[in-house]
Amino acid sequence: MDALAACIVCTRGLYDTETQTCRLCTEKVAADLRALAGPDGLYARLADSLAPGSGSGGPAVSGSRTAPLPVRLGPLSLAARGGIVTVLQTWLVDWYDLLGYAHPRWDGDLQQQLDQAVGRLLNLLPWAAENHGAFDEFCSEVAGLVHQSRAATGEEAPPRRIGVQCTCGRTLKVTLDTAGVRCPGCSTQYGPSEALRLPLAERRAA
């Protein structure tokens, strides 16, 4: 069997030591899980951003004669039961089932349950990366949770723009996931890969 097996997550070719998922993808999802957990993790910061009046802009709530402002919905639906915690616990139950373990018990408040679920998922991650048929779905779901949490806590950095130089000399700003760009100077249309193959524009002095 000499055909190069491909990672089920990123389709890179696998090394002999890798069964179905490459090390980079396994490390990526482990890092995503760790980003969610702990007192400084994204989940804890979601709870912080739930406090009424926190964040920028909103009017002060106390003393108002109208109903207090509802908490922001994004963080709430992620932080509540049924949000991140339940998604991770559902995966854990699935993995325990496959391994023939007894159904896991959840202890403590939601933050403690989240930390517990993350810890157990990390412990079983090497097994899941090698054996779980839907490990790619797990990876994309966890990446989605991290992405949504960062967006809800206002941490999402805008996509990084790079300046590339059109053949006419004009600088075009593109993101790495660009759908293509049209030069306003010479009207040349570039597809995504063409745009990213243009030479980098010289950086202006900051």
In angstroms, what is the minimal distance from the CB of 171 to Zn ion? 9
In angstroms, what is the minimal distance from the CB of 182 to Zn ion? 9
Contact between 87 and 141 under an 8 Å Cβ cutoff? The reply is yes
Smaller CB distance to Zn ion: residue 121 or 172? 172
Contact between 8 and 135 under an 8 Å Cβ cutoff? The reply is yes
In angstroms, what is the minimal distance from the CB of 68 to Zn ion? 46
Half-sphere exposure of 154 (CA within 13 A, CB side): 8
Instruction: Tell me which residues touch Zn ion (CB under 5 A).
Output: 7, 9-10, 12, 22, 25, 166, 168, 170, 183, 185-186, 188
In angstroms, what is the minimal distance from the CB of 72 to Zn ion? 35
Smaller CB distance to Zn ion: residue 78 or 198? 198
DSSP line for 135-197: HHHHHHHHHHHHHHHHHHTT-PPPPPEEEEE-TTS-EEEEETT---EE-TTT--EE-HHHHHH
> Which of 122, 136, 124 shows the shortest CA–CA distance to 98?
124
Smaller CB distance to Zn ion: residue 98 or 201? 201
